[in-house]
């Protein structure tokens, strides 16, 4: 099987490439290295089944492949807000190009969508049939609306051109190879704790997120790609164990034995107050069940940052 992974040099993409190589597949990793790094895939470059191509998915790509995992898109608010027009282009034009490629080659294609399609949700936990509450003109819209439009394109290519699609709504995921400067809460708090710097809580820290360890997420992603024909999603994948941001900070302080102080900063605009996946569909269709408890996953992530940042 020849598999294309777009965004393959990023956090999730590099773990996905690694896992697919273990299954004996041939991988073409396409990435423009905007937020991804060569370092993330350095250990894969010597594998004869792995090929890296520097390419921006907003431009057409003509290759011959059997499956496509479309992950290319900056994922953290700091990175996707850095060049918001490029973020929307990546989601929308990237989806059109990859769907065009899937249509021509008859490849199966999986879209890495996001819980952000639910925006600042009014129902809790979020179920796939919920249509979301997104501010279309806010600072998160380039990402949220880009991903929503990509989902539309996926379902229209399915209906109009019979493309075999799989749409996955990913909830907050953490683990080794998160970008140290991307401002996401888990990497920020761990690095601050290890350096003895103040822990920056935005707002009062009562907002919640449900954190999934990367290995569990990748298992769910591959299970979705291999799910029964005619099952398209959208499907939530994540860990439903919900924590307030304050609880996350306390866990990280305890695990790092850090003496860092908590400081409170303004809450960014449109920051969702709560987020938790309803994963009953994933349990039923994919037999999906996240296995890694928060503390166990945090310990592995702490070890990674200690080693790579020499802390
Ligand atoms: P990441 O930023 O580490 O990875 C994204 C990768 O895409 C990077 O390697 C980047 O260089 C590449 N990229 C960006 N624009 C590109 C372009 N125009 N052409 C080619 N490559 C491009 O982020 P991640 O956390 O690994 O996220 C991967 C995917 O999963 C994204 O689509 C993201 O929206 C989705 N997702 C992630 C999370 C999460 O918690 N990590 C949650 C929801 C959805
Ligand atoms: N495309 C691509 N690789 C392919 C086939 C198509 O990148 O192997 C791109 C191409 O740029 C095209 C887009 O995908 O504009 C959508 O393709 P589709 O066939 O749906 O539309 P059309 O070619 O008619 O624009
Ligand atoms: N957050 C925080 N301090 C930080 C970084 C983030 O309190 O240093 C908060 C942020 O406001 C949000 C939550 O943590 O409420 C998760 O933020 P992240 O950027 O990781 O992901 P997202 O908001 O996209 O879920």
pLDDT tens string 79-96: 999 999 999 999 999 999
Ligand 1 pocket member 175 (CB < 6 A): no
Q: Residue 125: its pLDDT value, please?
A: 96
Confidence tier at 311 by pLDDT (50, 70, 90): confident
Q: For 13-36, what is the mean pLDDT? A: 97
Residues of the chain with CATH 3.90.25.10: 175-209+241-275+292-308
pLDDT in tens, 181-237: 989 999 999 999 999 999 999 999 999 999 999 999 999 999 999 999 999 999 999
Residues of the chain with CATH 3.40.50.720: 2-173+213-237
Concatenating the DSSP letter of every residue in 25-38 gives -EEEEEE--SS--H
pLDDT in tens, 129-175: 999 999 999 999 999 999 999 999 999 999 999 999 999 999 999 99
Fold observed for domain 2-173+213-237: Rossmann fold (3.40.50)
Ligand 2 pocket member 62 (CB < 6 A): yes
Please give the positions annotated as active site.
143
Q: Residue 216: its pLDDT value, please?
A: 98
Q: Which ligand is nearest to the CA of 163?
A: 2
Pick the CATH number of 175-209+241-275+292-308 from 2.60.120.330, 3.40.50.300, 1.10.3720.10, 3.90.25.10: 3.90.25.10
Question: How does the average pLDDT of the chain come out, rounded?
Answer: 97
285-296 as b/e: b if 16+ CB within 10 A = ebebebebebee
Q: What pTM did the predictor assign?
A: 0.97
- CB under 8 Å, gap of 24 or more: what pairs does 120-127 form? 120/270, 120/271, 120/272, 120/273, 121/272, 121/274, 121/275, 124/274, 124/276, 125/240, 125/242, 125/276, 125/277, 125/278, 126/236, 126/275, 126/276, 126/277, 126/278, 127/236, 127/278, 127/280, 127/281
* Distance (Å, whole) CA 253 – CA 260: 7
* Distance (Å, whole) CA 195 – CA 211: 23
Cross-strand partners of 167: 111
Q: Which ligand is nearest to the CA of 11?
A: 1
CA-proximal residue: ligand 3, atom 5 (nearest)? 185
- Percent of the chain clearing pLDDT 70 (strictly above): 100
Ligand 3 pocket member 249 (CB < 6 A): no
């Amino acid at each position: 099987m020849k598999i294309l992974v777009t965004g393959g040099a990023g956090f999730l993409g590099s773990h996905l490439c690694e896992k697919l190589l273990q299954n004996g597949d041939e991988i073409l990793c396409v990435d423009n290295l905007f937020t991804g790094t060569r370092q993330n895939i350095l250990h894969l470059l010597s594998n004869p089944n792995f090929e890296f191509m520097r390419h921006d998915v907003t431009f057409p790509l003509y290759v011959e492949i059997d499956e496509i995992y479309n992950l290319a898109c900056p994922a953290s608010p700091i990175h996707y807000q850095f060049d918001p027009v490029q973020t929307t282009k990546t989601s929308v034009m990237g989806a059109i190009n990859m769907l065009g490629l899937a249509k021509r080659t008859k490849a199966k294609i999986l879209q890495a969508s996001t819980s952000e399609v639910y925006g600042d949700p009014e129902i809790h936990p979020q179920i796939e049939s919920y249509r979301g509450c997104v501010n279309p003109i806010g600072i998160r819209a380039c990402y949220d609306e880009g991903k929503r439009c990509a989902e539309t394109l996926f379902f229209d290519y399915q209906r109009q051109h019979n493309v075999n699609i799989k749409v996955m709504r990913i909830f907050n995921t953490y683990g080794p190879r998160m970008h140290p400067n991307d401002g996401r809460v888990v990497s920020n708090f761990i690095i601050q704790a290890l350096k003895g710097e103040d822990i920056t809580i935005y707002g009062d820290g009562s907002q919640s997120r449900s954190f999934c360890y990367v290995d569990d997420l990748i298992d769910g992603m591959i299970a979705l790609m291999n799910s029964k024909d005619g099952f398209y999603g959208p499907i939530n994948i994540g860990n439903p164990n919900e924590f307030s941001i304050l609880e996350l900070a306390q866990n990280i302080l305890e695990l790092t034995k850090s003496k860092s102080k908590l400081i409170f900063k303004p809450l960014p605009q449109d920051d969702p107050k709560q987020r938790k996946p309803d994963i009953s569909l994933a349990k039923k269709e994919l037999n999906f069940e996240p296995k890694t408890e928060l503390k166990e996953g945090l310990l592995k992530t702490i070890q990674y940052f200690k080693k790579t940042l020499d802390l």
